[in-house]
Amino acid sequence: MKLNIGENIKKLRKEKDITQEDLSEILGVSFQSVSRWENGTCYPDMELLPVLADFFKVTVDKLLGVDESIEKANVEKYLDRFQDAISHGRVYDCIDIAREGVAEYPNNYALLNKLMYALFLSGDEDGDIPEWKENMRKYDAEITALGERIMKYCPDQDIRLEATARLAFNHCEMGRRKIGRAIYETLPSAEQCREQQMWWSLTDDEKLPFTRERILRGYDILSAGMYSLLCYEMLPDEDLLKVFEKRLALDKLIYDGNKPDGNWGNARFHCNYARLYIRLGRLDEAIKQLKIAAKCAGSFDNRPDEYTISTLLLGDIAEKKEDFETSDSRSLKEIMRDKWLGDDDFDRIRNSNEFREITEALSK
């Protein structure tokens, strides 16, 4: 990609009616550096680009002389390739794609954010990446640098907040919990978020889809809270059983009793439900839940490329197979068979005929 940054700096400097010496003094660089930029001998350091753009009151893209429509189309191609790779758990392909995009468009924050995301996922212990611990250490500094850059300079609020939350998470994962918490505390509260505040500005036509979207986000938050109670076993087993039952009731309420089987979370939910039943000594119920989990895993692996869910509260929700993001390249049936069913809780039924039948079905 040919950059016209030198010509643009010269043009913008003259429009502002300042000399090369003036600009060098403002930026804290030598007069010779500004001269070399303008005659095309070299480019400014990457860290100076946002400063220059802010000084001249232009976008970084305009400063670079990039045709924004061409860049937008090309970036979308990178993002499509990235999404295809992440939907199949090809994390290293995601890193390569993001690096390729950033090499061509070094100041595109959508691509920088994807690179940060892919590097972070390469250290996910829940995927099928044997060297995930090494990746956590290997990419820690780069993830931090990308996150801090996006936080400081990205004009897109959604990208900036996403990167901020991920940066905080990375600090916590690397043992820097105080730093992570301090960053988390800079995020806006739920009371001040868009979903809470925008209602009064909406037209009549916008209110129904907005309200349904708000219900969906509320469901996501509530179900995630329940999942935390269950996943981290924060209550006694008898109380956890009630949480499982409440979660099923919530799904029935939101989805009119028709939540699709082909859902990763459904398979995990029923697998964990089975573990709890085993701990409570209710082995027949555990087997029933494992059969449901295996059915959900099979449905997930064979779900269509695109499908629509229709409910009273949520309306029509279109979902695509490639929207699912994972750090595991295995099928869900393989993950359930090789990982989830390896939990010690299943030792009490591991040698039963029903358990063997389930594992055999997951192998087909």
The pLDDT assigned to 3 comes to: 66
Q: Is the dihedral of CA 164, 97, 110, 265 positive or negative?
A: negative
Assess if residue 14 is contained within a domain: yes
- What pTM value is reported for the model? 0.81
Read off the CATH number of the domain in which 91 is found.
1.25.40
Residue ending a domain, among 64, 84, 105, is: 64
Indicate the number of domains in the chain: 3
Assess if residue 193 is contained within a domain: no
Assess if residue 192 is contained within a domain: no
The pLDDT assigned to 60 comes to: 82
* 203 and 267 assigned to the same domain: yes
* 218 and 92 assigned to the same domain: no
Q: How many CB atoms lie within 10 A of CB 290?
A: 28
The pLDDT assigned to 2 comes to: 56
DSSP secondary structure code for residue 364 in this structure = -
Q: What pLDDT tens digit does each residue of the chain (364 aa) get?
A: 556 788 889 989 998 899 999 999 999 999 899 999 999 888 898 889 889 988 888 878 778 876 677 888 999 999 999 999 999 999 999 999 999 999 988 889 999 999 999 999 999 999 999 999 999 999 999 999 999 999 988 889 999 999 999 999 999 999 999 999 999 999 999 888 888 889 999 999 999 999 999 999 999 999 999 999 999 999 999 999 999 999 999 999 999 988 888 889 999 999 999 999 999 999 999 999 999 999 999 999 999 999 999 999 999 999 999 999 999 999 999 999 999 999 999 999 999 999 999 999 999 9
Distance CA 86, CA 245 (A): 33
259 Cβ contact partners less than 8 Å away, ≥ 6 residues apart: 251, 252, 266
* 237 and 111 assigned to the same domain: no
* 210 and 357 assigned to the same domain: yes
Distance CA 262, CA 197 (A): 34
Assess if residue 123 is contained within a domain: yes
* 255 and 282 assigned to the same domain: yes
Distance CA 150, CA 112 (A): 8
- Domain of 47? 5-64
Distance CA 300, CA 336 (A): 12
* 202 and 82 assigned to the same domain: no
* 93 and 171 assigned to the same domain: yes
Distance CA 284, CA 281 (A): 9
Is residue 314 within 8 Å of 212, Cβ to Cβ? yes
Q: How many CB atoms lie within 10 A of CB 174?
A: 16
- For the residues of 185-202, what is the DSSP string, one character each? TTSPPGGGSHHHHGGGG-
* 325 and 236 assigned to the same domain: yes
Assess if residue 263 is contained within a domain: yes
- For the residues of 119-141, what is the DSSP string, one character each? HHHTT-TTSS-TTHHHHHHHHHH
* 85 and 225 assigned to the same domain: no
DSSP secondary structure code for residue 309 in this structure = E
* 341 and 218 assigned to the same domain: yes
Residue ending a domain, among 165, 187, 209, is: 187
The pLDDT assigned to 254 comes to: 96
The pLDDT assigned to 82 comes to: 98
Coil vs helix vs strand at 315: strand
